[in-house]
Amino acid sequence: MRTKYKPWAKPYIESHPDVTILKEEYSSIKDVYLEIGSGKGQFLVGMANKFPSLFFVGIERNVTCSGITFKKLVEEDITNAKIIDDEASVVLTNLNDKSINGIFLNFSDPWPKKRHHKRRLTASTFLNEYKRVLKDNGLIYFKTDNSDLFSFSKEEFLNNGLTIIKENDHYLLDDDFDFETEYEANFKNKGQNIYRLVLKKND
């Protein structure tokens, strides 16, 4: 599902700098959760409304999707969620060690060609950064409709010292600490299976 380019998105983002977050702000926030690839913000906004005592940060490199999320956060006056329009690799590099409670990977790009597997958000290079920025016993929440990505990711997680604490190959949104994404609703309407893992960073 490609999002049609919206020329208003970039100027809107630039006019609302308060909706993004700076590196130094993380250390002053108690419970921070990161969503990598937040799309149009349905999950980010939903979680922020559902859990007002927690803080959620979305990363989205598509400027139009980021703009849509910015607009939702502004119009709904949400103060416990922010969005960063940048590459995940750049944002992660700038985060302090053990500064994040949990990371959400919702319907990430499957990069189906084998030569592109290193670009997957569950490849070892990314997992090393996740483990660095996660607090002790921090969690990774992973959802996908792609069975190949699920198998690949499960193997990568286990090979990189993460422990599976929940596994579901027919997930029905039955975990309270979750919210349905735009992709998830679309896939379920088409009768596609949703795969999910929750993983713990080992001490």
Catalytic residues: 109
What is the Cα–Cα distance from 134 to 122, expressed in whole angstroms?
Answer: 15
Q: Residue 145: what residue type? A: D
3-state helix, strand, coil in the chain (%, to 5): 40, 25, 40
- Residue 96 identity (one-letter amino acid): N
Say which DSSP state 7 is in: T
Strands 134-144 and 195-201: antiparallel
Looking only at the bridges linking them, the beta strands covering 32-36 and 55-59 are parallel
Q: Is 121 strand, coil or helix?
A: coil
- Please compute, for residue 8, the number of CA atoms within 13 A of its CA located in the half-sphere on the CB side: 4
